[in-house]
Amino acid sequence: MVLPDQFFMPMYPAPLTRTDVVSHFIAVCLLSLLAALVAPLHAFAQADDTIDIPKLAGPITLDGLSNEPGWEAISPWIPSQYEPDNGAPPTERTEFRVGYDDDYLYLSLRAYDRDVTGIRANTFYRDQLAGSDHFEIMIDTFNDNETGLIFTTTPTGTRNDAAIFNDASGGGIASGGWINGDFNTFWDNATTINEEGWFAEVRIPFSSLRFQHVDNAVVMGINVNRKVARKTERVVFPATPTVANWAFLKPSLAQKIRLKGVKPHTPLYITPYVLGGTGHENALNESASAYQKNTNSTGDLGIDLKYGITDNLTADLTINTDFAQVEADNQQVNLTRFSLFFPEKRQFFQERAGVFDFRTGGLSRLFHSRRIGLTDAGTPVPLIGGARLVGRVGNWDLGFMDIQSARSGDLPSENFGVLRLRRNVFNPYSYAGGMFTSRLAEDGTYNVAYGLDGVFRLFGDDYLTLQWAQTFEDQAYSSLTNGRLTAQMERRTRNGWGYSSIVAWAGADYNPGIGFTQRNNFTLLDNSISHTWIANESSPLIYHQLFMNGEAFIRNTDGTVESAAVGPAWEFSQKNGGGGDISAQLRYEDLRVPFILSGDSDNPATVPAGSYTFFNLEASYHVSHTSLLQLRPQAGIGSFFDGWQFTFGARPVWYISKYLELGGSYSFNHIAFPDRGQSFDVHIARLRVRTALNTKLSTNAFLQYNSVTRSVSTNVRFRYNFREGNDLWIVYNESLNTERHRLLPMLPLTDNRTFLLKYTHTFSL
C-alpha cells in the first residue's frame, strides 16, 4: 500500500518553539472562557429533600420476593427512565424499596415484566453482568459527593461490586479513571423469576459500608437503577438528567437518605490461607549452551485481618501476603518511547482505594500500589507483611499504609509507606489534602515524596484542580527540579458547552518512588473544548458530541516543543445501545535521540532523530453491551514518524448461555518505513473462556498470544466460593515459546509452568 506524499510532509520546517504553542494555547483558553460564560450555571443551593428510611417492622427472609409484612409497610420508590428517553416513565412496572434493621441495610427490586421470556440472565459468573438485566445500587456511604460503593445483581443471582471515586468523573471505565472494579466486600443477595417478572433482595451489613454518625443519625447518598437489557432501557431513582457520562452513578447526584439509631458495628474478620503447589522453569545453564529445567515446589501459610475500629475506620493487617489467585495482566506492545501502565488487581489494596488516588496528569500518579510487591517487569516480590488503615476521622478522609517486602534475588528488602489526608472545604463538592510516600531499602537507598492537592467546585459544573508534588532521593537538587505542578480548569458535564484547560510542569529530577510517571522535565499545555447535543425523542441518538483537543509538551531546557497533537473528534450514543467515535489528529514529535520500537524483539526498527509531523484517522463502533454477540471493531490509518501505520482491533464477546461466555480481543499493527526498507506486523490476541455451573463454582481461562515476544501465555483459575470470604482456588500458569529456533541455543517449549492450590477461610468475630 502506497500513501500520498502529503502523509509525510512536515508542517513546520524547523522544530516548534514555545511561542508557537503558547499563542495557540491562549486562543483556546479564550474559547474555553467564552464557553464557560455562555453556558448556563447551576446553583449550589438545594432543598433538603433527604428521605428518612423506615426501620423494618419485622424479619426479612432473603428469597428475592420482598413479600414480608416488613416490606409491604414501606412505600416504593417509582423510577423514571435514564436512557433511552430521559425522564419518561418506565415501559415495565418497577418498584424499589429501602429499609434497615440493627445490622443490615436492605434493598429490594420488583421488576415486573410483560414478557418474562425476554428477561436476560446470561451468566452465573461473579463480577460479570454479561449483557443481563440487572439491579444496581450506588451508595455514597460518607455522603461526601465524591466516593461510593456499587452493588449489582442479575436474575441469576450473580453479584458484582465496585468502588467509585472522583464523583465518577475523569476518564472512563476502560481507563480506570474513576471506578475500581476489583473491589470486593461482604454482602448477600437473592433473586427469583416467576410469571410476573424477576425480583431481587440485597442485604448489606453496616460493617461493609463504613459511614459517619451525626446526632445519632447517618446520612448517605443513594441511587438505584434497573436495566431492561433487551430494550437497552435503564430506569433510575432519583430522576437523573444525562448531564454527564454515567451520571446515574455520580455520588453528587444521589438521593440523600437518613437512617436513625444505627449502632456502631466493629467486626473482626480473620482470614488465614494455606497454599501449595509445584512448577518448573527453564533457564540457561552456566555456560549458556543450553536450557535446563529447574523444578520447585512450594507450601506456605499466611493470614489477613480486617478490623472495624469504628463505623468509619477500618484496619487491615497482612502477614506473609500471597496473591496467587490474581488474574494475569493483559499483554501489551509498546509502540511509544514511554513506560506502559498496568492497573492494580490485588485485593489487599482495593478497599477505598480512591482515598489514595493522587493523579498528576494522564496515567501519572504520586502513588501506584503496583510498585509494591512487583518488579517493573511484573515479577512478584515476597511481602513479609503490612498494615493498612482507611476511613474517616471527623471531617478528614484518612489513608495509611506500611508494607515490608523480603529480599528477592539481587533486590534488597524494602519498606513502603503511604499517608493520605484530605477533607471537604468551601462547599460539599470541594476538597483539599496531601499525601506522603516513602520507600526505604535496607542498603540505605531511599525515595520520599509529598504532595498537596485540591479539587474546588467554583460554580455550576466548573471545577478547578491544583496539585503540587515533590520527591527526594540520594542526591542533591537544584532549585525545584524535583517537583511537579498541575493546574486544571474543567466543566464536568455532557450537555452544551464543555471544556478542559491544563497547565502542568515537571522538573528533571521528579521521580515518585512508589508512583508512576511517563516523562519529566517538561511544561504541558493541554486544552479541549466540546459541545454536546442531547437528541430529541424522535431521534435514534441519545446524544452526540464534538470535541477539539490539543496538547503540547515543551522542553524546560530550551523551550522547544518535544511533542504536540491537535485534532477534532466526534462521539455519539444511540438509543439502541450502540455508539462510536471518529477522530483525526495531527501530531508532532521532535526526537533528540533515535527511537527504538518494540515491534520486533530480535530486529527492532529504529526511528532516527529529527522533527516529524504526521496525521492519522481513527474510528470505532460498538453495538449494545446487552447484545448476546458483539464484535466492537476499531481501526486507524495514517503516517507514523517517517513511515505509516495501519491498525485494526476488535473485542468480541459471545454470551452463549448463563454457563458459558467466550470473549477476548485482537489488535493488529502494520508499521512501514518505505524510505528505510523496514516494516513489521504486531499481533496481540487474547481469548477468555468463562464457565460457571452456578454462582459458587466457576473457571476462568485466559490465553494470550504476543507476536513481539513470540509467546503464548495461559492463566487458568478455578474457584469454588463456599461463601463470601471462603474460597478454594486452583491456579495454572504456563508460558510457551512459539518460534523456538529463532535463537541459539534453541528456546525451550515452556519457559515456565506453575500449578497452585490455595484455600482461604474467613472467621467473623
Q: What are the grid coordinates assigned to 41, written together?
A: 450555571
Query: Higher-confidence residue: 371 or 611?
Result: 611
The per-residue pLDDT for range 426-442, each reduced to its tens digit, is 888 899 999 999 999 99
Range with lowest mean pLDDT among 264-268, 284-288, 512-516, 529-533: 264-268
Averaged pLDDT, 705-716: 90
Using the predicted structure, report yes or no on whether residue 586 has a pLDDT greater than 90. Answer: yes
Q: Dump the DSSP string for 489-504.
A: EEE--SSEEEEEEEEE
Residue 134's nearest CA partner among 500, 758, 626 is 626
Say what the pLDDT of residue 262 is: 86
Residue 7's nearest CA partner among 584, 483, 395 is 584
Query: Higher-confidence residue: 39 or 177?
Result: 177
- Taking the CB of residue 502, how many other CB atoms lie within 10 A of it? 18
The per-residue pLDDT for range 711-727, each reduced to its tens digit, is 899 999 999 999 888 99
Using the predicted structure, report yes or no on whether residue 257 has a pLDDT greater than 80. Answer: yes
Whether the ω angle into residue 15 lies within 30 degrees of 0, i.e. cis, is: no
Q: HEC states along 646-671?
A: EEEEECCEEEEECCEEEEEEEEEEEE
User: How far is residue 756's CA from residue 733's CA, in Å, rounded to a whole number?
Assistant: 9
Say what the pLDDT of residue 328 is: 58
Q: Which residues have CB under 8 Å from 369's CB, separation 6+?
A: 344, 346, 349, 353, 356, 514
Number of H helices, E strands in the chain: 3, 45
User: Which strand (E) or helix (H) includes residue 21?
Assistant: helix 18-38
Residue 531: C-alpha distances to residues 35, 167, 569, 619 (Å):
9, 21, 11, 19
Query: Higher-confidence residue: 339 or 445?
Result: 445
Beta strands 217-228 and 233-237: pairing type?
Answer: antiparallel
User: How far is residue 108's CA from residue 726's CA, in Å, rounded to a whole number?
Assistant: 26
Using the predicted structure, report yes or no on whether residue 317 has a pLDDT greater than 50. Answer: yes
Q: What are the grid coordinates assigned to 625, written together?
A: 453491551
Say what the pLDDT of residue 564 is: 96
Range with lowest mean pLDDT among 31-45, 350-364, 371-385, 421-435: 31-45
Range with lowest mean pLDDT among 458-462, 491-495, 628-632: 491-495
Using the predicted structure, report yes or no on whether residue 462 has a pLDDT greater than 80. Answer: yes
Q: How confident is the model at residue 36 (pLDDT cuts 50, 70, 90)?
A: very low
CB 53 within 8 A of CB 61: no
Say what the pLDDT of residue 566 is: 96
Using the predicted structure, report yes or no on whether residue 265 has a pLDDT greater than 90. Answer: no
Averaged pLDDT, 277-287: 87
Q: How confident is the model at residue 336 (pLDDT cuts 50, 70, 90)?
A: low
The per-residue pLDDT for range 130-166, each reduced to its tens digit, is 899 999 999 999 898 888 999 999 999 999 999 888 8
Say what the pLDDT of residue 1 is: 38
Averaged pLDDT, 579-600: 87
Averaged pLDDT, 467-492: 88
Averaged pLDDT, 665-692: 91
Considering the chain, what is the average pLDDT of its residues?
A: 86
Q: How confident is the model at residue 516 (pLDDT cuts 50, 70, 90)?
A: confident
Say what the pLDDT of residue 600 is: 57
Query: Higher-confidence residue: 249 or 242?
Result: 249
User: How far is residue 70's CA from residue 99's CA, in Å, rounded to a whole number?
Assistant: 9
Q: What is the largest CA-CA distance in the chain?
A: 80
Using the predicted structure, report yes or no on whether residue 5 has a pLDDT greater than 70. Answer: no
- The model's pTM: 0.80
Say what the pLDDT of residue 379 is: 76
Whether the ω angle into residue 412 lies within 30 degrees of 0, i.e. cis, is: no
The per-residue pLDDT for range 547-577, each reduced to its tens digit, is 999 999 999 999 999 999 999 999 999 988 8
Q: What are the grid coordinates assigned to 647, written together?
A: 491498525
Say what the pLDDT of residue 187 is: 94
The per-residue pLDDT for range 176-227, each reduced to its tens digit, is 468 887 788 889 999 999 999 999 999 999 988 878 878 888 999 999 999 9
User: How far is residue 382's CA from residue 412's CA, in Å, rounded to a whole number?
Assistant: 11
User: How far is residue 511's CA from residue 448's CA, in Å, rounded to a whole number?
Assistant: 9
Q: What are the grid coordinates assigned to 585, written together?
A: 489528529
Q: How confident is the model at residue 351 (pLDDT cuts 50, 70, 90)?
A: low
From first CA to last CA, the distance across the chain in angstroms is 68
User: How far is residue 196's CA from residue 540's CA, in Å, rounded to a whole number?
Assistant: 30
